[in-house]
Structures are given as structure tokens and as C-alpha cells.
Chain A
């Protein structure tokens, strides 16, 4: 994956690039908005990571300029903590996701991974399949190994979100945002509770587990390896 990072804090930039490069990705770094904008229009990237507060040209203006110029590359904003309105402003400026600083690299990596896959997801899909688990999006039916699995609406949505991102790690916060539209961090482990209820229906009665917990509190669904 080719990633463009526009971040003026050297330490954060180093932390992020190191992470992506270790994962085998290409990550270009620019420390001010003007250079970032120039680079983004000159080369093609899979994902852009842009800090809100930048010297030269701030992240919001940079995103607006890029969108005005017709660049559709997925863009994720990094925002400082406490900014209640940052998400809405960021999305309005043409951002696709946002992440609050300070963040764990795993969270950023998961979001970048999900964003990069987006175009493929937009194709019309009516049936999702993972190993022997099948989800019919039109009939709202889930079967595993031919056996019907009865799910509550939110459980269905949770499973659908996981299945659409097969093999990708979705963090707790990402699930909260995508399944429940919650944009704050609950103090209790409610997401874990929902996942374990889902597991009880999808995995427990069967031999192999499909839903996996990854370190740094993320979840993914994939066939046994």
C-alpha cells in the first residue's frame, strides 16, 4: 500500500511510518500542508493520513483543496483530543475517517486498512461468505454449514460489518462507530459482550471458530488457517 502522511510532529510521524514500513507498506511523510497538497496531486496513493493542525496549510483546507481538485483518495484525519466537533468538520471537508490523538498504531492501521479497501466494498454484493458462514443481505438470513443462525438486528449488523471486512482487524472503536453510531468510548467492555454473544451463536455450536480476537483489542473474521 502507498500511504501519504502529512504530520508536523516528528515523533508521531516517525512512529507511524515505522509501523507501516514494518508492515511492508510505502509511507511518504511531509511536515507541512502545502508540501502535502503538492505531493498528493503529483502522485497516487492508496490512503492519505492528514493531521488537522499543520504549518503552511491546515489539514481541513488541504482536504478541501484536494477534493475540489477531484482527488478521491481516501483520507483519514488525525485530530487533537477533546475536539467534539472535529469529526463532523473533518467529514464535511471531505475526510473519510478521523482518529483522535494520541492513538495506538493498531487503531490507525486498522482504519487505514478498512479505508483502502473501500472501493471494492462499494460493488453490489448480495451474499457475504466466510468459510462455511453465509449471509444473505437481501433475505437478512445467516446460515452456517447449512444451519440457520438466528440473529438480533444489531448482531446481524455486527456480523455484517465483520464479514464485509473479512480478514481485517476492526477495533472496538471502529465497531462502535460502524454498528452503533457511537462516537465516544464507553468505559465498560460492552463491545466484548456483544462479540461474545455473537460467538455463542455463530461459533460455539460449530467445530471451528471464525471470529478472532487480535491483540490490542480488535476483532476479525476469517476462515481457519
Chain B
């Protein structure tokens, strides 16, 4: 399986996409801030110039042209370089005072290129002009600070972008490395699963994030798949091992019949034996297929609300006579209706199998108790006997198909009763526990109550 390259990994792509988005957002925010600051600076310059102009006008009103010219000259002396510019012109355009030589007539413009003012520079000025008496006064301030602002903003934005980009790339690489590592773990595990190792699991980070959750689900799916494959493998094994013996017995009976027939001896016994052996084989086969069908889950489509107590009561009544005839005692404790969602027919079979199990494996004198009780949201069904029981280390195994305890090899039964019970319990998502009844066996089933 090819590994995903760094730049094609979803982690990297995601972080790049996020960086682009973040940069766009930052650019919009920066531009907005810039235009607000720019506007504010403009207004400030305008106000400062207007105040200066008012001051000059006041000087003219107080002391005439000589005071005005004097004031302008005084300002010019104070000003360094050309931060501020002044020009006082007579009505005919003659220069009376100031630190520049010319000023174009400005209509509505608020800014002027330095060159138009006769300054050998590339800077820009805010300009205000006013007529004071017959004179024209031009006052200006360098817009140097504005271009400085431009520079600062641009430079800042550039650096911010660079830093963001660097962090994003580094973060993306780190993130995608981490993701790639986790994906690689999943790939390794899934490759093993593809090779048939259904015990392989994807290691979980345990942090509960989406990938961790997905990993958990994949593991569960693999586990289920493994169980299905195992069940199929098991059933093929069961059939090949456990049906071979009776098939062989069948063949022996038939061969004996053939031999006797050639010798002219009646063969009715052998044929009867063969016939009942064939019935047993069919019975086993039928039960195996039934279990497989139950396990497939298709039956769930027919689930409906069923009263566990009623089903149990029907089955118990059906077997009561047989139990009494077998010299056993039966105590039944059924509570109120116990509604669950399930399959009546299969549940009937479940109780029947459990009771038959007792009938097959217990001696006369055995006490059997059967009860259905509600505990919290669950219905607990218990069938207990004081018979021989099942050794602790065998309790798991008896649920397997065709597994039989050595002690019960000689009693009738296919070895499929309890595995059918297990399959039906699983289909109903009920828990099935085989416990020690000290002495005897206690089978405990817990069903979820219907909503």
C-alpha cells in the first residue's frame, strides 16, 4: 500500500488552507486599520494647519502686513528643513515672506507634490491657502509621517505574513507528520487484517478525538469480521469433524446391509439403523444451519414486542408433564408481563433448549427453578438446577458448536442446544451467563426491557 506523501496529506493541506484563510482575514483587518489611521492623520494635519492660519490672520488683523510678514518670518526661522512651509504673496504674486518660492493655486486639493512648490524633493505636503486682506498665504506641512505610516504598515504586514506562513508551514508539517504516523499505524494494522490476521488492532491514542473514535470503530469492525470469519471457519471444522463420524457410522451400517444381503440374511436392522443415523445427521445439519442463520441477524427484521413471561410460561407448561415424569421438581416464578423486543419463535426455542438440557443431563430428584424478574431496565431470566452442573473451565466451551462434556457423550443430543441458546441470546443482545448453582447449573439471561 503506498504511503501518502507529506504535501498530499490531509493535515498539511488543511493547515495550508487555514493559513491562506488567516492571511486573508489579517489583510482585511490591516487594511481597515490602515484606512482609519490614515483618515485620522489627515484630519489632524488639516486642523493644525487651520489653527496656524487663524493665528496668522489674527496677526494681520492686529498689526497689518508687517506683523503678518514678521510672524511668517519668525515661523520660518524656527522650522528645520522643510517640515513646514510658508509663503506670503502680494496680490500681484510678489513673494513677501516664506521658505518656498512658489505655490500653485489650489482649488479643493489638500495635498501637493513638493516639486510644484519648488522644493527639490519627492515628498508630499498638506497645503492650505487663504486670502488675508489682499495677500495670499500658503501654509503647508510635510506628509512625511503618512508615508512613514505606509511603510510601517506595509513592513509590519509583510513580517506578520512571513511569520504566520512559517508557523503555518511548520505546524502543517508537524500536524501532518503526526497524522501520517497515526494513519501509518492504521495502514500497517489494516494490511495485516488484509493478510488474514484478524487479531490485528490499530493502536489507539486514547485522547478521544475523531481519529481515535474512528480507530475504535474500525477495530470493532475488524473484531466483528474476525468473529464472523472464525464462526465460518468453526462451522466448516464442525461439519468436517463432527459429521464425519456419524456419516462413517451410516456407511458401516449400509456396508453391513450389503454384505448380509449378498449372504441372503435379512437386513432390516441395519437399514433401520442407517435410517435413524441419517435422521441424526440431518438434525445436526439443520441445527448448524439454523445457528448460522440466527447469527446472520436477518431474523431481526421480524422483531416485535414480546412478553418474555408469557413465552416462558407457555414453554414451561409444555414441558411440565415431561419434567414430572422424569421425577424432577419444577418451581416457576414469573412476574408481571416482561416486554422486550424480540422473536417469539426463537425465544420459545431458547427456553425449550434450556429445559431440555436439564432433562437430558440431570437425574431424577433434581429441583429446577425458573424465574423472570425485572431488575432496573432489564429482565433477568434464571433457570437453575441442582444437577451435575458444568465445571468452571468448561462453561465457555459448552457454548461452542458441537462441544460436549466427556460426561455427556453418551446422553442424547447434538451438542448444539446451548450454542443455539447463545446465538439467540446474542441476536437479542441479551447477556448469557452460566454460573455455579452450588451444586448444579444456573443459567442467567439478561434482556433489555422494551422502551
- Listed in ascending order, the chain A residues whose CB lies under 8 Å from chain B are 81-85, 88, 100, 102, 154, 180-190, 193-194, 197
- Select one of B288, B302, B412 contacting A187, CB under 8 A: B412
Establish whether residues A187 and B356, one from each chain, have CB atoms under 8 Å apart when the complex forms. yes
- Select one of A82, A187, A193 contacting B325, CB under 8 A: A193
Which B residues touch A182, using CB under 8 A?
A: 318, 348, 352
**Which 10 residue pairs are nearest across A and B when measured between Cβ atoms?**
A82-B289, A193-B322, A81-B286, A193-B321, A190-B322, A84-B293, A184-B349, A187-B356, A197-B321, A188-B356
CB of A77, distance to nearest CB on chain B (Å)? 16
The docked-state distance in angstroms from the alpha carbon of A193 to that of B345 is 22
Which residue of the partner chain B has the closest CB to A104? B279
In this assembly, does B159 line the interface, its C-beta being within 8 Å of a C-beta of chain A?
no
Establish whether residues B352 and A186, one from each chain, have CB atoms under 8 Å apart when the complex forms. yes
Which A residues touch B352, using CB under 8 A?
A: 182, 184, 186
CB of B342, distance to nearest CB on chain A (Å)? 14
Establish whether residues A82 and B417, one from each chain, have CB atoms under 8 Å apart when the complex forms. no
The docked-state distance in angstroms from the alpha carbon of A194 to that of B321 is 7
Establish whether residues A85 and B286, one from each chain, have CB atoms under 8 Å apart when the complex forms. no
Which residue of the partner chain B has the closest CB to A103? B282
Within 8 A of A (CB), among B288-322: 288-290, 292-294, 298-299, 302, 314, 317-319, 321-322
Which B residues touch A154, using CB under 8 A?
A: 317-318
In this assembly, does B360 line the interface, its C-beta being within 8 Å of a C-beta of chain A?
yes
Which of A82, A88, A187, A197 has its CB near the most chain B CB atoms (within 10 A)?
A: A187
Establish whether residues A84 and B294, one from each chain, have CB atoms under 8 Å apart when the complex forms. yes
The docked-state distance in angstroms from the alpha carbon of A88 to that of B304 is 14
Establish whether residues A187 and B413, one from each chain, have CB atoms under 8 Å apart when the complex forms. yes
In this assembly, does B285 line the interface, its C-beta being within 8 Å of a C-beta of chain A?
yes
- Select one of B283, B299, B318 contacting A180, CB under 8 A: B318
Q: Can you report 25 A-B residue pairs in the complex whose CB atoms are below 8 A from each other? A: A81-B282, A81-B285, A82-B289, A82-B292, A84-B290, A84-B293, A84-B294, A85-B293, A85-B298, A85-B302, A88-B302, A100-B286, A154-B317, A180-B318, A182-B318, A182-B348, A184-B345, A184-B348, A185-B283, A187-B413, A188-B359, A189-B322, A190-B318, A190-B321, A193-B325
CB of A185, distance to nearest CB on chain B (Å)? 7
Which B residues touch A181, using CB under 8 A?
A: 348
Within 8 A of A (CB), among B383-431: 412-414, 417
Which B residues touch A84, using CB under 8 A?
A: 290, 293-294, 299
Which residue of the partner chain A has the closest CB to B318? A180
Q: A102-B282, A184-B349, A187-B417 are in contact. Are A82 and B293 (CB under 8 A)?
A: yes
Which A residues touch B325, using CB under 8 A?
A: 193
CB of B31, distance to nearest CB on chain A (Å)? 70
Which B residues touch A194, using CB under 8 A?
A: 321
CB of B116, distance to nearest CB on chain A (Å)? 98
Which B residues touch A180, using CB under 8 A?
A: 314, 318
- Select one of B285, B345, B417 contacting A183, CB under 8 A: B345
Establish whether residues A82 and B290, one from each chain, have CB atoms under 8 Å apart when the complex forms. yes
Which A residues touch B283, using CB under 8 A?
A: 185
Which residue of the partner chain B has the closest CB to A80? B289
The docked-state distance in angstroms from the alpha carbon of A183 to that of B349 is 8
CB of B78, distance to nearest CB on chain A (Å)? 106
Which B residues touch A102, using CB under 8 A?
A: 282
Establish whether residues B282 and A188, one from each chain, have CB atoms under 8 Å apart when the complex forms. no
Establish whether residues A81 and B289, one from each chain, have CB atoms under 8 Å apart when the complex forms. yes
Q: A85-B302, A180-B318 are in contact. Are A188 and B360 (CB under 8 A)?
A: yes
The docked-state distance in angstroms from the alpha carbon of A88 to that of B294 is 15
The docked-state distance in angstroms from the alpha carbon of A20 to that of B158 is 99
Which B residues touch A81, using CB under 8 A?
A: 282, 285-286, 289
CB of B41, distance to nearest CB on chain A (Å)? 85
Establish whether residues A187 and B318, one from each chain, have CB atoms under 8 Å apart when the complex forms. no
Within 8 A of A (CB), among B339-374: 345, 348-349, 352, 356, 359-360
Establish whether residues A187 and B289, one from each chain, have CB atoms under 8 Å apart when the complex forms. no
Which residue of the partner chain A has the closest CB to B359? A188
- New A-B contacts (14) at CB < 8 Å, excluding given A82-B293, A187-B356: A81-B286, A82-B289, A82-B290, A82-B292, A84-B294, A84-B299, A85-B299, A102-B282, A182-B318, A184-B352, A186-B356, A187-B412, A188-B356, A190-B322
